[in-house]
A and B are shown apart, each in its own frame.
Chain A
Amino acid sequence: MAHLIRKGGWFMLALIGASAFAVIALRRGEPIGAVWIVIAALCVYTIAYRLYSRFIAERVLRLDPTRVTPAHKFNDGLDYVPTNKYVLFGHHFAAIAGAGPLVGPILAAQMGYMPGMLWLLGGVVFGGAVQDFTVLFISTRRDGRSLGDLIKSELGQIPGMIALFGTFFIMLILLAVLALIVVKALAESPWGTFTVAATIPIALFMGVYARYFRPGSIGEVSLIGFILLMLAIVGGQNVQDIPSLAALFTLTGEQLTWLLIGYGFIASVLPVWLLLAPRDYLSTFLKIGTILGLAIGVLFISPELKMPAFTQFTDGSGPVWSGSLFPFLFITIACGAISGFHSLISSGTTPKMLAQEADARFIGYGAMLTESFVAIMALVAAASLEPGVYFAMNSPAAIIGTTAESAAQTISQWGFYVTPEMITQTAKDVGEHSIISRTGGAPTFAVGMAQIQSDVMGGRSLMAFWYHFAILFEALFILTAIDAGTRVGRFMLQDLLGSFIPAMKRIDSLGASLIATGICVGGWGYFLYQGVIDPLGGINTLWPLFGIANQMLAGIALILCTCVLFKTKRGRFAWVTIIPATWVIVCTLTAAWQKIFHANPRIGFLAHADSYTTAIAEEVLLAPAKSAAQMQQVVFNDHVNASLTAMFMLVLISILLFGIRTIFSKEK
């Protein structure tokens, strides 16, 4: 009987999920409530967790609850500590949930909410969650070793080096894109710039306080920091109203770029306790708070999705990013569907704290489903905006111009109703001078969240507060990622260069670490600067590069998983990782090929370079270049981007070949 009830329950759940999908599918042409999407997603996640993750746990990986995990084997009370399943879930989730799940789905909304939603659901169930789970399992069975080490020991020394090399460049692109999002959100915005700038002295104060006055009082210091942050948001409005102060904090994109580069260098050589750790406290608590707040808002308000299910931009002519649905949707949304970066976390601290092997299913598969849910909510926030406003915020100035009139006119021609008043009113509501061409996802997410939150409490009067709260949250988070990422990049570089120049390997040497940090900051700074001066807004160029890089890392991780499955006599079930591996490899290689060779200059780097070369020969100046030298620079940048993309392809293809070799040499 109990069995029957359990079976019946799952049947009901499937039925509810199917009805939610039916509502979404049948209500074409009229707006639907976000709650239907939330229900459909939750049903998919529950069923996938119950059935597919169980199949992987019991049949494919054959988790053994009695096996001793590294946390017990090497227990030192410090790094290797057996940890409660739910506590570790929180740790793992906080580590994987970054800015990615909030940005990708917002950019993808230009094709309508449906393509993004379907990829988020399908991708996570069969790709992302499988990757996170399997890598966690493999790393746990091999003493909690890192992805690079695993590739070295399973595939060989050379593929290990290639993977490390590739990961370093992936890191540079990631940091450049994150920094670009901050620049795009803060340019010409004194309120936002002041608030974010204020976080630096706040964090320094917290760092000194927690080290010298009240050591270890993390809760207390976080609370003080939080109150100071809220004061900074409120104070930002006053800064904006006082002309002399406002002028001080009104910075152009280029000025912000140089400030960020300088900041990145200094922050990543300062001691961790002084700046990185205290800011990490704030950003983590804000992150969890924002996600919870958004979830409550979406569930209670159930905002209407005003974006159509599909727009005409599925053909690849969209203003936010160029390229057709296949393959570009699948690299635009990475985190939330499948993200290679998680494989670094799953083979980082988490396997060292796993109390028993059976927990890997809940933590590896479950945390990724939760992240996918965050991405779904970000998609809802973007799709609940008036589509005209969405396109005004996300289209580059080169397409829609710089005034509300020109933007409204262009966007209306695309068939999305919008008036200049709507655009200026939205800007006024959120306390900004202009919302036109605020690309990068963060401002759009902030406006969407501000609308939802102000419906929950505060009404229109609090909208500006919520907007700057969301901007602060993303910027704070990204600053932490930039300085942590620069540190990681520096260690990677020292490790890599150390193989050739032994003196570079010395982590305690000031000279070696300053050189390595300088190369790292210079690397991402170059791509950042290039993105900031790009007339198409930079996101257009850099986000696909980031997506390609990140998905390639997922491809590498899945190739490793497949090799291990074959080597450990699990080959019969290797399709579990072969299917997602094939999909990400096909998508990334196609996308990379198109980024290099596509005839449309908005997509292909070489075609773009050609259009500038032709213009140079005809002595015509193309915006934004103001001189022939700058034209040359654009051509040079295109060639750098094309070479980098080609290098990514080579890295992936060589790892694939090494993987196939490993599998066949074991089969014999």
Chain B
Amino acid sequence: MLSMTFKKSLGFVAQSLRLMVGVPEYSAYAEHMRYRHPDQAIMTYEEFLMRSK
């Protein structure tokens, strides 16, 4: 329980740091694609990074 909260807040810190340097959140993208566009191919993390630059 405690470790879950810890993990979650660590995730927020990591996301904050990435966003500060202009790298969008991959997990949000992947989740969005799975829910909204299950028929389309999801970019890999590497492809996602290349695209965001």
B19 touches A91 (CB 8 A): yes
Q: Is the CB of B15 within 8 A of A87?
A: yes
| Interchain CB contact under 8 A, A91 and B20 | yes
Q: Which stretch, A272-280, A370-378, A462-470, A640-648, touches the partner chain B?
A: A272-280
- In the complex, 13 of the A-B residue pairs with CB atoms within 8 angstroms, ordered by the A residue number, are A77-B30, A87-B12, A88-B19, A90-B17, A91-B20, A94-B20, A94-B21, A215-B46, A216-B46, A271-B53, A277-B53, A284-B20, A285-B21
- Other-chain contact of A218, B23, B28, B36, B50 (Cβ < 8 Å): B23
The answer to whether A273 and B53 have CB atoms under 8 Å apart is yes
CB distance from B22 to the nearest CB of A (A): 6
Number of residue pairs spanning A and B whose beta carbons lie under 8 angstroms apart: 67
Identify the 10 closest CB pairs spanning chains A and B, nearest first: A77-B29, A77-B32, A94-B20, A90-B16, A91-B19, A215-B46, A87-B16, A281-B21, A273-B53, A284-B21
Asked if A272 and B51 sit within 8 Å, CB to CB, the answer is no
Q: How far is the CA of A90 from the CA of B51 in the complex (A)?
A: 23
For B29, the chain A residues whose CB sits under 8 A away are: 77-78, 81
By the criterion CB–CB under 8 Å, are A280 and B21 in contact?
Answer: yes
Query: On chain A, which size bracket covers the interface?
Result: 20 to 34
Cα A216 to Cα B15 in complex, Å, equals: 13
From A81, A216, A277, give the contact of B28 (CB < 8 A): A81
Instruction: Check: A424 CB closer than 8 A to any chain B CB.
Output: no
B11-53 interface code vs A (CB 8 A; 1 in, 0 out): 0101111111111110011111100100000000110011111
> Which of A75, A81, A87, A277 is in CB contact (< 8 Å) with B22?
A277
Q: Does A288 contact B (CB under 8 A)?
A: yes
Q: Does A83 contact B (CB under 8 A)?
A: yes
Nearest CB on B from A93, distance (A): 8
B32, A90: Cβ atoms under 8 Å?
no
Number of contacting residues on B, CB 8 A? 27
* A435 smallest CB distance to B (angstroms): 33
Say if the beta carbon of A76 comes within 8 Å of chain B. Answer: yes
Contacts A75-B32, A76-B32, A277-B53; is A81 near B25 (CB within 8 Å)?
A: yes
Q: Are B28 and A77 in contact (CB under 8 A)?
A: yes
Which of the residues A86, A88, A272, A285 comes within 8 Å of B53, measured between beta carbons?
Answer: A272
A84 at the interface (CB under 8 A from B): yes
- C-alpha spacing A272/B30, complex, angstroms: 24
Query: How distant is the Cα of A166 from the Cα of B40 in the complex, in angstroms?
Result: 43
Measured between alpha carbons, how far is A631 from B50 in the docked complex, in Å?
Answer: 52
Q: How many Å from the CB of A281 to the closest CB on chain B?
A: 5
CB-nearest residue of chain B to A288: B20
The residue in chain B whose Cβ has the minimal distance to the Cβ of A79 is B24
Contact with B along A271-315 (1 / 0, CB 8 A): 111000100110011001000000000000000000000000000
Seed contacts A78-B51, A83-B28; 4 additional CB < 8 Å A-B pairs: A76-B32, A77-B32, A81-B28, A218-B21
Q: Which residues of A contact B21 (CB under 8 A)?
A: 94, 218, 277, 280-281, 284-285
Q: How far is the CB of A374 from chain B (nearest CB, A)?
A: 15
